[in-house]
Amino acid sequence: MFLAEGGNVFKKADKTPGTQRINRVDVSTTVKWLEQVTGLSLMDAMVGSTGQRDTSGDIDLALDGNHITKAAVIGTLVNWCKQNGIPDDQIMNRKAKGKNPSMLDGWIDQTGIEVHFKCPINGDIKNGLVQVDFNFLTQMAWSKFMLAAMPADSQFKGVDRAVLFNSIGKTQGVKVAVNSGVHDRATNELVTTDPGTFAHILLGPQGTIQDLASVETTIAALRNDPHRDAKLHDFAEYLQRSGRQMPQLEASAHPSNWFKYINQRLK
């Protein structure tokens, strides 16, 4: 299972997005406003590329699903909508029926492990609306590793790295899920939620967490692997479908800043 960063679940009647991108300078102030609305500590919950680039398509937040429920967050957001005069029949993002796309233009939706909110930037609708995705995770350390922002010099996104992990994992008899860990492909039994152990599964005894920092570093770590082509087969086909190419094996390895970052996120 992959989290589709940037996927817009809110649509206007003309099928255009119901939210907009948010400038980096407005991310932290918008999240702080959300803390006031929800009563949750959210500044350390930002994952993915949120706040890392000049603009973001949405704001991704990781919540501990063992202690915080989707129903509780939805209830809080519904109350905010009502207090701000949003009609009851416009609060929830109803699934489109027939040919009426306007039914997707609500304020709240839920898909899989996520709750989506059409959030006023800096708490003011006049500033525009950005999609906020609350991700309810049950293996927080593992999921934060999987959702960590890619190094700044990478040409790929987190979802690309997840596809690569599964391409390699397929040859090792495992599959990777963002929310639950590494599973046996045949039995679905949980194998591990430890990133270090996962690196050994994909890359052998010499594999490290640093090697998994990006698509480029992971592929570079396979440079001398005799099974490299088989491990990259599915990923190569994935790139080909989107008109992209495999990165050069000479890519730099072990980005120290990313390693320091991920160590902090796993604490």
3-state secondary structure 117-180: EEEEHHHCHHHCEEEEEEEEECCHHHHHHHHCCCCCCCCCCHHHHHHHHHHHHHHCCEEEECCC
pTM, rounded to two decimals? 0.75
First to last CA, the chain: 24
Q: Quote the pLDDT of residue 249.
A: 60
pLDDT of 186 above 50: yes
Q: How confident is the model at residue 4 (pLDDT cuts 50, 70, 90)?
A: very low
22-138: CATH number: 3.30.460
Q: How confident is the model at residue 8 (pLDDT cuts 50, 70, 90)?
A: confident
* Helix 256-266, helix 140-147: angle, nearest 10: 160
| pLDDT averaged over every residue in the chain | 87
Sheet holding 58-64, edge to edge: 58-64, 129-137, 114-120, 108-111
The H-or-E segment that residue 233 falls in is helix 228-241
User: Span 108-129, mean pLDDT?
Assistant: 94
Q: Quote the pLDDT of residue 247.
A: 86
Q: Which of 158, 140, 156, 138 is nearest to 148 (CA)?
A: 158
Contact predicate 144/52, CB 8 Å: no
pLDDT of 190 above 70: yes
Mind listing the pLDDT tens digit for each residue in 17-64? Answer: 899 999 999 999 999 999 999 999 999 999 877 767 788 889 999 999
Residues whose CB falls within 8 Å of the CB of residue 261, separated by 6 or more in sequence, listed in order: 148, 149
Residues whose CB falls within 8 Å of the CB of residue 190, separated by 6 or more in sequence, listed in order: 180, 181, 182, 183
Largest CA distance in the chain: 63
Give domain limits for the chain: 22-138, 145-266
Q: Quote the pLDDT of residue 258.
A: 41
Q: Quote the pLDDT of residue 7.
A: 63
